[in-house]
Structure 1
Amino acid sequence: MKTNPGRFFEEYRLGETIVHAVPRTVSGGERALYHALYPARGALYSSDEFARDCGLSAAPIDDLAAFHLVFGKTVPDISLNAVANLGYAEGRWHLPVFAGDTLRAESTVIGLKENSNGKSGVVYVRTRGLNQRGEVVLSYVRWVMVRKGDLNAPAPEPVVPDLVQVVAAADLPIPAGLDFTGYDFTLAGEAHRWGDYAVGEQIDHVDGVTIEEAEHMLATRLWQNTAKVHFDATFREDGRRLIYGGHIISMARALSFNGLANAQMIVALNAGAHANPCFSGDTVKAWSEVLDKAPTAAPGVGAIRLRTVAVKQGAAPFALKEAGGKYLPEVLLDLDYWALMPL
């Protein structure tokens, strides 16, 4: 058999490392397409001159563009037969990615647990994105529900990895040379700095974007995400293509510019949950809450921990979960991350 039907749950082995195809050299085209797909306006990622004034050699590729690129490479081996991508933890952006870098990816299986229905199971993997020098630019853990191909295959011994809930502020990777002491707030688009935000503060980002089928399909193709639930309308019983979760992450991040324009660099991903499915025609809005703040050793740079929540039409302001702890049906994404901001 020469075609690849994708792996099923019973085919994963605890501790195995999967080297993913195909390496990809990043160009300025990725940035242009990313900014066309999302209302992304972060100055550090839009202007080489702005980035140089902040101590970098040039404007990096958007953090989430690098994430999607690495993530997409893992799909044929990890989630081609996925029911849903469930969550993330222990994410770190170790190095900025620049045009000209070549990225590849590898994943290690760190947990397996069959579901009680015997038809699927959860696979936990730790993924690393590496550049042409073999340097790790990005690492994260994700867990995904995968169908079984053989319903009679025996269940593996359940192993659920013990993951840290929050990347410690002291462990945040700060790009070499980053310096916000000369940061231009006028060019960045907002005057709000690290000291203007308080722990517990909630921000309604006001704007909304209606999800279009064409944009979602372009995004999944751009990041080479071939999961069947995103491409094949016959794969789900309802005949609807599920919007790629990364599309919602980037949309929420871009919408958060209005109120968090100076949260310039994502450096760690503490947790993430795709709470409910999103489909074409849904209108996405976002709100954020400040969870923590911490100084860094970089001049003029502070770290801010944010929860950004994406919701669809009908959501009440800042509503998240029901009394029993279940996400409200209008909540699409609950993302907990650290970003860097000028003091």
Structure 2
Amino acid sequence: MRLSALLKPVGSIFKHTCRRYLNAAVQPGLALNTDPVLPIIDFSSFANQNETNDFYPRDVIEKLANACEHVGFFYAIGHGVPNELLLRTLSITRQLFDLDDTIKNQYASRLFTDPSKIGHTRGGFGRGYQSLGENVTNTKRDRHEGFDIYRELERDHPLRLQYDNTNVINQTLPDYRELAIGWNPWPKELPLFKETIAEYTTAMLQAGERVMRGIALSLGLPVDFFQSTFNDSFWVIRCIRYPSVDASESKSPEYGHGCGEHSDYGWLTFVNQDLDSRNCLHVRTNDTSNATYVSADPIVVEEQIALTCNIGDIISFITKNKYRSTRHCVVSPAKPARSRVSTPFFFEPNLDVKLQINENASQCYYGEYLINKVRTNFNYYNDEAK
């Protein structure tokens, strides 16, 4: 589907509700604002698309439109992902990062930077483990460990087959071969990790579909308008651990925050984060030089864990910036708090969806857009440093 056409106008975890955690001290360099609170939106009505547009609640649609236009972030409830699965995903992710460094580095993404060495069973550009500081944002090393997981295309998937060995030198193919043929280096020492991520992915894809139906309706479009753009979604998961720091560690010429300020690339991001995470995910509330932020801490609404959701750059562009792709960052937890674990799920278009990413660029495939973003994300240490 050509997205240029879119440029037309267009349980019982805690027994409390809608509570934000702003108890921790503000980190240096960030002016934290306690207002406004991120909107809370219930997507339970969007569980299926087999109804006419008039079936869906107008008040929820209007609330979503207002959130996308003025905030770009919101808390999603009624997303359909069980609390137990959200917590289990965080738990297995923490177990992954608790593995010995020697084990984790067997699955390091730095091992798969040479496109010619990406095999048929293991590895793929950007996939796998990154040690502290290998991710880079705004020229500074991010203070976190990561493990990146990308959609694996089936062996008989048409986009994988077009990059078989006989076609590698065909320069007319889109420039996303490493994404199309890559495999995730699943750690054999933790077999439940792959199993849990598979279950998490299935649930999050369904949550993404609910929200995208709401987005379509909020733009005055048919409920299934975007369906063909993500029916083969090239989703991405980042498993992340942010070590806690003290005041002296937070001031470094080489390192920035846990993750530097940025906006996200594609359709939607869902953040699943430790429930005890305080004052870490900071959402920018304005576009001026005197930036202020609101802390998007986890909340539980009527015994349901809310997912923190934000829209990405593509939605912002196709709506001519009516909907905001809001910049945000992650500040490292302050000691004595424990390290922070999160598993953001990036709900993305299909690799072969055509889009135009800005006014001055020609149309490209989403896969080309994504891989060019990923190529600037890392600054691997040399072998001697490891």
Q: TM-score, normalised by structure 2?
A: 0.26
Bigger strand share: 1
Greater relative CO (CA pairs within 8 A, separation 6+): 2
